[in-house]
């Protein structure tokens, strides 16, 4: 198993975001009410991302287990929940500004572009199997029930996951660099909580 906290989690191109995050943590104190609304969102987002990361098998198989049986992009949805939660925790004008900037950018620029590129790659690799999955499983809004490929055209050899491979696994969680995300959410959440309840300056 790889080191679960690797430099990929702290890529230099994200340095401006780290600086902005540190400034926000140092200067903004959420009130108890906004913290109460925000905390469930970022907790749910972190749990969803962790659940997905423990199932995701990049480049080796089409992942359709765990949260991927309900929606195609649980990591993106988890990120949306985390970001929205922290924006609400900030409160006031800056919160509204952050949400008004983030949501349109994500909905009309970032996600459609990523979805197109990723869908094209998966379709070229898995063909009809991915087409069935994409037709049945929404991108970001979860299904009520888990999807399973019951098509009479069974997956070709090499497509189906190995026996016992559909369970959540720590090595996948580590390989998908998720512990760094969890640590960042925990640190930010604890710090905001301390300030909201007046236990930190």
Measured CA to CA, the distance from residue 98 to residue 106 in angstroms comes to: 12
Residue 156 lies in a domain: no
Q: Does the pLDDT of residue 65 top 90, yes or no?
A: yes
SS3 151: coil
Task: Please provide residue 11's backbone torsions phi and psi, each rounded to the nearest 5 degrees.
Answer: -60, 140
Residue 21: both structure tokens together: 């995050």
For residue 76, pLDDT over 90 is answered with yes
Task: Give Cα separations from 147 to 71, 86, 144 (angstroms).
Answer: 9, 31, 9
Give yes or no for a contact between 31 and 196, defined as CB atoms under 8 angstroms apart: yes
Does 140 map to a domain?
Answer: yes
**Average pLDDT value for residue range 170-179:** 85
Q: What's the mean per-residue pLDDT of the chain?
A: 81
Residue 137 CA: distances (Å) to CA of 131, 152, 184: 10, 18, 30
How many domains does one find in the chain? Answer: 1
Asked whether residue 124 is domain-assigned, the answer is yes
Whether 54 is in a domain gets the answer: yes
- pLDDT value at residue 2: 55
In a domain, 18, yes or no: no
If phi > 0 it is left, if psi is from -120 to 50 it is alpha, else beta; for residue 200 that is beta
Between 95 and 43, where is the model more confident?
43
Expressed as residue numbers, the domain containing 50 is: 27-148+184-201
Residue 19 lies in a domain: no
pLDDT: which is higher, 23 or 151: 23
Query: Residue 137 pLDDT more than 60?
Result: yes
Q: Does residue 1 sit within a domain? A: no
Among 40-44, 58-62, 144-148, the minimum mean pLDDT is found in 58-62
pLDDT score recorded for residue 164: 43
- 122 vs 129: CA distance, rounded Å: 9
Percent of the chain with pLDDT over 70: 78
What is the 8-class DSSP label of residue 73? -
The pLDDT value recorded for residue 110 is 87
Q: Which comes out higher in pLDDT, residue 48 or 196?
A: 48
Say what the pLDDT of residue 162 is.
Answer: 39
Q: Are 201 and 26 contacting, i.e. CB atoms less than 8 angstroms apart?
A: no
Angle between helices 74-90 and 92-105 (to 10 degrees): 160
Quote the CA–CA distance of 67 and 75 in Å, as a whole number. 9
Does residue 5 belong to any structural domain of this protein?
no
């Amino acid at each position: 198993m790889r080191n679960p906290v690797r430099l990929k989690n702290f890529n230099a191109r994200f340095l401006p975001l780290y600086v902005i995050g540190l400034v926000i943590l140092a200067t903004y104190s959420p009130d108890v009410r906004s913290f109460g609304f925000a905390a469930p969102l970022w907790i749910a987002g972190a749990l969803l991302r962790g659940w997905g990361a423990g199932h995701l098998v990049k480049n080796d198989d089409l992942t359709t287990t765990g949260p991927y049986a309900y929606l195609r992009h649980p990591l993106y949805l988890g990120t949306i929940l985390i970001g929205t939660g922290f924006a609400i925790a900030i409160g006031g004008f800056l919160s509204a500004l952050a949400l008004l900037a983030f949501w349109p950018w994500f909905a009309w620029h970032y996600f459609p572009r990523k979805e197109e590129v990723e869908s094209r790659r998966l379709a070229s690799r898995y063909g009809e199997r991915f087409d069935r999955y994409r037709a049945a499983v929404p991108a970001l809004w979860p299904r009520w029930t888990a999807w399973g490929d019951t098509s009479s055209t069974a997956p070709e050899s090499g497509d189906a996951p190995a026996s016992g491979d559909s369970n959540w696994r720590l090595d996948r969680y580590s390989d998908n660099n998720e512990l760094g995300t969890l640590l960042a959410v925990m640190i930010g959440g604890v710090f905001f909580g301390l300030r909201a309840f007046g236990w930190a300056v």
